Amino acid sequence: MKSIWQPGTTLECVRGIQAGTMSPFLGIEFIELGADFLRATMPVTERNCQPMRVLHGGASVVLAETLASTAANCTVDTARCALVGQEINANHLRSVPVGGRVTGRTHPFHLGARSQVWGIEITDERGRLICVSRITMARIERPLTVPTT
């Protein structure tokens, strides 16, 4: 299978662009870059749980959007454009208690000129599906010159 990534895209590059974002705060760790998918893990801790001491649904959505946003931007020349989340949905299927770990995997459904659609599946440590998500990414052009004020 031919790779969908921009030339030079590596797992180390993907990890490097996470500095200074929400990813390190939540413990999101990118672990695998395939020809057409990206995988990351996230621990379930007090930082991302709800009062019932299980993974917060919003944290699952953060993992899903982080995976898909990162992956989408690795398919384009980011000096010319960027892909940003336009719409996301998620179905939460099972809970994960504090102390657990989840793994998300994203892959594209559509890689268009103006938009992309990505699917994300999040599983627990036993491989059980805990959340499915889909995100639409909108392409925005980067300014060619710096605007003056």
- Is 87 an annotated catalytic residue? no
Give the active site residue among 12, 32, 46, 65. 65
**In whole angstroms, what is the distance from residue 32 CA to residue 53 CA?**
28
Residues tagged active-site: 65
